[in-house]
Amino acid sequence: RKVTMDAVKRGVEVTVVIPKRSDVTLVDVLRNKYLGPLHKSGIRFMYYTVNILHAKLMLVDGREFAIGSSNFDYRSFRYMFEIMLFGDEPLISDQVKEHMEKTIRQADPFVYKSWENRPLINKFFEWLLLPFRHLL
């Protein structure tokens, strides 16, 4: 989180597309705790609602890309059997950019006011799950 927020402070535009609901409800609950502060730091979140979003894509400066199955977190890099492809081939970068733009057009924006007014029970479960965040 810190690296991403630091990048935003340097003027980097960061958009993260996440599923509105994933296949792991506990992860969704815990994820929601962080969305407000990250949004306030300048990170743009979009909810993808068309279907489950499992593939991971990252495009840096319109040139360098990462494509694969790994989540961008400690547990995935350390313990899971995932695969990622990193590269800078212009033809692939262009296709990744086109795909990402289409995905963003199909997504709904994160609304801070809705997050801020989420039910107290949601906040309680976020707090309850916090000590287990590295296990999820």
Q: What is the mean pLDDT of residues 89-101?
A: 95
Q: In this structure, are residues 46 and 17 in contact, taking their beta carbons and an 8 Å threshold?
A: yes
What's the burial of 22, exposed, middle or buried (CB within 10 Å: 0-12/13-18/19+)?
middle
Judged against a pLDDT cut of 90, whether residue 98 lies above it is answered with yes
Residue 117, token pair as written in the block:
């007014």
Alpha-carbon 58 to chain mean position: 10
pLDDT of residue 71: 76
**Over the stretch 31-90, which tens digit does the pLDDT of each residue have?**
999 999 999 999 999 999 888 767 889 999 999 999 998 877 777 777 777 888 999 999
Quick check: 104 pLDDT over 80?
yes
pTM: 0.83
105: tokens are: 């057009």
106-126 tens-digit pLDDT: 999 999 999 999 999 999 999
pLDDT at 82: 82
Q: Give the pLDDT confidence score for residue 115 in this predicted structure.
A: 97
- At 24, is the pLDDT very low, low, confident or very high (cuts 50, 70, 90)? confident
Chain-centroid distance of CA 125 in Å reads 20
